[in-house]
């Protein structure tokens, strides 16, 4: 039987085969082919990319917790035009703020999360507060129900995404967080997308055994706008294929702080996350330093720097965040839904 016939017979295209390969538990797969943008890049597929560092001022980058754009290490992949991987452009002390936002702030109402699908809004109002007790106890109480935070799977921001219809709502919109908007715009600027407008966000929360199936993000009405993706917490394997399911995907590691931009042709490429991978403990802890908050009197109105969107993260909050990300991964995708001047079709 030809390879193609075998594939047709098993119903498995090239992407599905590699997805299953990296998802496998016993025996665990060989990771030696997985590209590690924060390690030695000896593979011929990776090409360094020159970004547009002068478009991003050092001050503007710093205000959202990014290093000067000249220091961003950006890469592309041969055969994936428009795909940009920026290896952790965050300032050493800024990831704790973004992680706290993803866990404490963005899940708050009026944003929508998976728990709202079967719980009333008053029960999903204070996910963080209701989870703090069980997450801060030294040993998890036996047979206690998982906290709301541990049951959080997704949060949607801006134009609300409907997972069943795969459509964005024209009339269900929650304000897109201003801080995440600023961060996204600085990344987009550096990548040459000065007019990017963040209009929808999807946060995905992964446990160590989670995965994300093979898909293309095509619900946005304008595919010429880039899609931004931010990773925090544990590492993962990302598979990026091509326009066809039969196109062989490239496997790469995503670590905390890594940012991906899918634009151009690769904006509509198949991709998936077959596996969460434990982060390297020493790299992980060196990246995730929470600067001590200034004494209480000063914190009231003083941001860390003039005009900075970053706020100090209290030691108590950071302890909860750390405990969470020690076994979990957070991914934030930021999307522009409508092209310039475009509006939702009338239904
Ligand atoms: C998505 C997505 C990738 C990730 O949310 O559409 O592809 O790294 N996420 O979680
Ligand atoms: Mn996607």
| Contact between 74 and 84 (Cβ < 8 Å) | yes
| Residue ranges of the chain with per-residue pLDDT less than 50 | none
Question: Residue whose CA is closest, atom 10 of ligand 1?
Answer: 331
Question: Residue whose CA is closest, atom 4 of ligand 1?
Answer: 331
Determine the residue of 204, 220, 239, 272 to mutate for testing ligand 1's pocket, defined as the one with the most ligand atoms within 8 A of the Cβ atom. 204
Instruction: Please give the pLDDT value at position 42.
Output: 73
d(CA 134, CA 178): 31
Determine the residue of 219, 241, 331 to mutate for testing ligand 1's pocket, defined as the one with the most ligand atoms within 8 A of the Cβ atom. 331
* DSSP calls for 315-335: HHHHHHHHHHHTT-EEEEEEE
Instruction: Please give the pLDDT value at position 11.
Output: 75
| Contact between 236 and 207 (Cβ < 8 Å) | no
Domain borders along the chain are 33-335
d(CA 278, CA 54): 36
- Give which of 333, 336, 342 is closest to 223, Cα–Cα: 336
Ligand 1 mean position, distance from CA 272 (Å): 7
| Contact between 253 and 36 (Cβ < 8 Å) | yes
| Contact between 329 and 231 (Cβ < 8 Å) | yes
Instruction: Please give the pLDDT value at position 145.
Output: 84
Ligand 1 mean position, distance from CA 210 (Å): 12
Instruction: Please give the pLDDT value at position 301.
Output: 52
179 C-beta neighbours (distance < 10 Å), count: 20
- Superfamily of domain 33-335 in CATH is Alpha-ketoglutarate-dependent dioxygenase AlkB-like (2.60.120.590)
Pairing type for strands 154-162 and 167-174 reads antiparallel
Instruction: Please give the pLDDT value at position 10.
Output: 74
Instruction: Please give the pLDDT value at position 50.
Output: 92
Residues with CB under 6 A from ligand 1: 202, 204, 212, 217, 229, 238, 254, 271, 273, 331, 333
d(CA 113, CA 105): 12
Question: Residue whose CA is closest, atom 1 of ligand 1?
Answer: 333
Ligand 2 mean position, distance from CA 217 (Å): 5
Instruction: Please give the pLDDT value at position 347.
Output: 66
Instruction: Please give the pLDDT value at position 186.
Output: 98
Instruction: Please give the pLDDT value at position 135.
Output: 73
């Amino acid at each position: 039987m030809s390879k193609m016939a075998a594939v047709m017979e098993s119903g498995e295209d090239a992407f599905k085969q590699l997805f299953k390969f990296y998802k496998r538990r016993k025996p665990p797969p060989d990771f030696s082919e997985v590209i590690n943008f924060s390690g030695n890049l000896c593979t011929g597929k990776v090409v360094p990319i020159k970004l547009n560092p002068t478009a991003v001022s050092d001050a503007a980058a710093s205000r959202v917790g990014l290093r000067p754009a000249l220091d961003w290490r950006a890469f592309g992949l041969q055969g994936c035009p428009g795909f940009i991987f920026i290896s952790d452009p965050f300032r050493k002390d800024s990831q704790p703020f973004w992680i706290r936002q993803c866990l404490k702030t963005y899940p708050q109402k009026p944003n929508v999360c998976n728990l709202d699908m079967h719980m009333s809004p008053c029960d999903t109002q204070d996910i963080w507060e209701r989870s703090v007790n069980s997450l801060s106890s030294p040993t998890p109480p036996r047979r206690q129900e998982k906290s709301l935070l541990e049951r959080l799977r997704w949060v949607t921001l801006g134009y609300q995404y409907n997972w069943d219809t795969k459509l964005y709502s024209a009339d269900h919109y929650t304000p897109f967080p201003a801080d995440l908007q600023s961060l996204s715009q600085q990344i987009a600027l550096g990548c040459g997308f000065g007019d990017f407008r963040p209009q929808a966000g999807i946060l995905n929360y992964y446990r160590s055994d989670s995965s994300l199936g093979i898909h293309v993000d095509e619900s946005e009405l304008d595919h010429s706008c880039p899609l931004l993706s931010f990773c925090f917490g544990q590492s993962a394997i990302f598979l990026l294929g091509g326009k066809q399911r039969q196109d062989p995907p490239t496997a790469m590691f995503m670590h905390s702080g890594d940012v991906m931009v899918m634009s151009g042709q690769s904006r509509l490429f198949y991709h998936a996350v077959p596996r969460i991978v434990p982060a390297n403990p020493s790299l992980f802890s060196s990246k995730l330093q929470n600067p001590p908050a200034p004494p209480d009197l000063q914190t009231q109105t003083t941001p860390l720097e003039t005009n900075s969107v970053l706020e100090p993260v209290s030691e108590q909050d950071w302890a909860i965040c750390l405990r969470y990300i020690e076994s979990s991964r957070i991914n934030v995708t930021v999307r522009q839904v409508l092209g310039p001047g475009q509006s939702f079709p009338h239904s």
